[in-house]
Amino acid sequence: MKNPFETPERAAFRDSVERFVRREIEPHGDAWDEAGDFPWELHEKAGALGLFGFGIDEAYGGLGFDDAFMRLESGIALAYGAPGGVNASLGARNIMTGPIAALASDAIKTEVLPGIVSGREGGALAMTESSGGSDLSRLTTTARRDGDSFVLDGEKTFITGGMKARWFVVGARTGGEGFGGISLFLVEAGTPGFTRTALDRKMGWWSSDTASLHFDAVRVPAHHQLGEEGVCLLAIMNNFNYERLALAAGCLGMAQRCFDDAVAWAKQRETFGKPLISHQVIRHKIADMSARIDALRAYLLHIAWTLNEGEIPAAELAKVKFTASQTVEYCASQAMQILGGAGYLRGQAVERIYREVKVMAIGGGSEEIMKDLAFRQMRL
């Protein structure tokens, strides 16, 4: 269907991202996934394209503007053609630059943001802990004031980009229980007492660097605290909303890839003397996949419009997050059925996406957490 929000600028940006993916990622994606890594220069190429600059002032290397439609289209294009691990590692910095841009001093922004936004350096958001998962209110890492420093103790886990990042935005408890007792700190790799351990042998996202972080009496300069003590987590909730938009966009790109590959296979594969796509049961699978993809796309376009109007539709962003993960789960399963044994082979996008579905349903807020959040935001 025609996109009523399309503009020449958005179309040109989408085309440039799609060309970037086809040229720089797709020819190498499977090999990078099998190797569990990809060249750092890809981060810099993505930075040059502007993929890390939304909402960041030009003075710090950003684009100087934001556009939810461009965020959406870039997320779709990357997920369509790139292994999830590549996409995740590239995008890890996008969920930590927002708090820096919103809460850090000008001096810190000048020191930190240009390297991250350009792709020369990595950045990661360190919130998740093994004891709480998506429930950040149970965060146990602590930070206590000691003179002109804070001393951090605790651990984080499942931190995407954590092994290679230079800068980390770390949540730590400085006050009482719940969200109100949490503060944010900017921590640099190499700080004494700060170590990290790689998490490998993952079900999916093989080419992403995922880490557990360990803080053992890590001293952080007091001016590296981001925002006011105990209230800054609440101040950056919009950051999590944009993460949900990105993850939902990724689900849409993955679902579209499953659909396209399934249709292509159904047209060329013959069973019982005729093309697979001639069988009614296959046509119905394709129609169901297409309907769910269309519905998700329309939902995301409406949300992007609302964001560009200056509103944060928190309930809808939570709902679209679990709607999107359920959509790609359905499409991956149906595409796998259509491809049959061919879809089960490594090197097939459908096989990879089938493995990566679950991280989309868990990361960035699990389906269960998103449903509960949506209900609370609906104020029924």
Please give the positions annotated as active site: 243
Q: How many CA atoms lie within 13 A of 298 on its CB side?
A: 8
3-state secondary structure of 62: coil
CA 106 to chain centre: 26
Joined tokens for residue 23: 């040229």
Give helix 41-49 / helix 84-91 axis angle, nearest 10°. Answer: 70
**Three-state helix/strand/coil letters over 89-157:** HHHHHHHCHHHHHHHCCHHHHHHHHHHHHHCCCCEEEECCCCCCCCCHHHCCCEEEEECCEEEEEEEEE
Determine the 3-state secondary structure of 187 from DSSP. Answer: strand
The DSSP call for residue 160 is E
DSSP string, 13-37: HHHHHHHHIIIIITTTHHHHHHHT-
Tokens of 103: 């809460």
**Dihedral, 322, 91, 82, 307 alpha carbons, nearest 10:** 50
Distance CA 182, CA 167 (A): 19
Nearest to 277 by CA among 339, 347, 354: 339
Query: Any bridge partners for residue 218, and if so which?
Result: 152
Strands 167-173 and 123-126, sheet pairing? parallel
